[in-house]
Structure 1
Amino acid sequence: MTDPTPQRPRPVDPRGDTRLAGLSWPAVISLGLLALARPLARITGADEVLGTPGGPLLLTLAVTAAWVLVVGLGRVPRPVLTLTLAGVTYALATLPLSAVLSTVIDGVPAGPLVNPVAIVPVLLLNAGWGALAGVLALGVQRLRGGHG
């Protein structure tokens, strides 16, 4: 038996996949890489200037604010998905980075690649961070009269 409810047509992606239609991949990747400011601050010692635990928290809030403002004020399409994937991009970038840098800095590899059980939680945590920022960006867009 078929559902009599008419379905709204989905946007069509030229590659045939409609789930990611309208997504700004440059925004996803650049915003994901922007979050690398957090580990960069740790590596350079810049986070020590801000203190612990305040430094990492302030950097996380700064990245989140940048994500929300860029996507919300920039009217980037599909803000929740865009920032969810930006969080995943950040997580994927930190996986090899943590292993390499811990080896260089501490002489011992560390991080999720050394402890693979941690990979899924890292991906989920950062996807959640991005999704939360995406909801905030969507709110900014709606306040400004956008449609998200």
Structure 2
Amino acid sequence: MTEIIPPTTRPGLPWPLIVGLSALALLWPLAELIGIGQGAPRALTIIAIIAVTWICVVGLGGVPRPVPVLALTGLGHGIISMIAAAIFGGFDQPVWTIFIALGIDAFWGAVAGLMALGIQKIWGSRA
């Protein structure tokens, strides 16, 4: 007789969460529209808000597979940023740079995912 092995159940990716966290890319044009000045202070503030939100939501929320989730979030962030830049007239880069920029966004998302994973490990050990 053959033994039936049940398929492993691996949780799917939380696509609504990925899209929602990616949408934080809209903080950039929103800051511009409401008149927050340009420069390093604004950029660092927006980057910090986005990074802390991603890491805390995924890390403290116990989202399964945080590294791929936030890598895809970074990719989605890059796509949304490019679309917003095209709409608002700020995208005048060569097409080949799109792939490099998206790769960098996915990389930083994966780094945030590693941080969220670390939070999950620490938080889980305390529970």
Distance 1:131 1:10, change over 3 A: farther
* Equivalence map 1:35-46=2 (5 Å): 35-46=25-36
* Equivalence map 1:53-72=2 (5 Å): 53-72=40-59
Q: TM-score, normalised by structure 1?
A: 0.72
Q: Percent identity?
A: 35
Higher helix share: 2
- Is contact 1:95-1:111 (8 Å) kept? yes
Which consecutive segments of 4 or more residues in structure 1 shift more than 6 A? none
Structure 2 unmatched ranges of 5 or more:
1-5
Aligned residue pair count: 120
- Is contact 2:67-2:117 (8 Å) kept? yes
Distance 1:10 1:69, change over 3 A: farther
Q: 1:85-125: CA deviations, max 9, x gaps? A: 001011111222211201xxxxxxx416x520210111011
Structure 1 unmatched ranges of 5 or more:
1-8, 14-20, 103-109
Instruction: Find the counterpart in structure 1 of residue 99 from structure 2.
Output: 120
Q: 1:24-54: CA deviations, max 9, x gaps? A: 11111111112321232134322x1xx6212
